[in-house]
Amino acid sequence: MERSSRSASALILLMLVLITTEIGTMAMEDRICQSRSTEYRGMCLFDVNCDNICKTEPGFTGGHCHSFFRSCYCTKPC
């Protein structure tokens, strides 16, 4: 009885480790890095304009207006 209990515990622990590893990998893949645009000039009022400018900057896939001062921030996968 004790041996089957130990085996069940080991199996549950193994499953938890595998699930946690998979979730951690997915979270790392979904991270988005952002950086203030070097090309956008003026106050950022529309996300569409910021997005278009950021797509022309090397390495960035999009952008959005952000912060109290309405700056354009470009985004890319980390």
Same-domain check for residues 78 and 42: yes
For residue 21, what are the domain limits?
A: 1-30
pLDDT of 12-67, one tens digit each?
665 555 445 455 444 556 799 999 999 999 999 999 999 999 999 999 999 999 88
- Higher-pLDDT residue of 42, 9: 42
The answer, as to whether pTM is greater than 0.85, is: no
Same-domain check for residues 65 and 53: yes
Same-domain check for residues 49 and 14: no
Contact 51, 67 (CB under 8 A): no
Q: What are phi and psi of 6, to 5 degrees?
A: -65, -40
- Rounded to the nearest angstrom, the gap between the alpha carbon of residue 4 and the centroid of all alpha carbons in its chain is 42
Same-domain check for residues 11 and 24: yes
Look at the chain and report how many structural domains it folds into.
2
What pLDDT is recorded for position 18? 44
**What's the CATH code of the domain at 74?**
3.30.30.10
Annotate 14-64 with three-state secondary structure.
HHHHHHHHHHHHHHHHCCEEEEECCCCCCCCCCHHHHHHHHHHCCCCCEEE
Same-domain check for residues 26 and 37: no
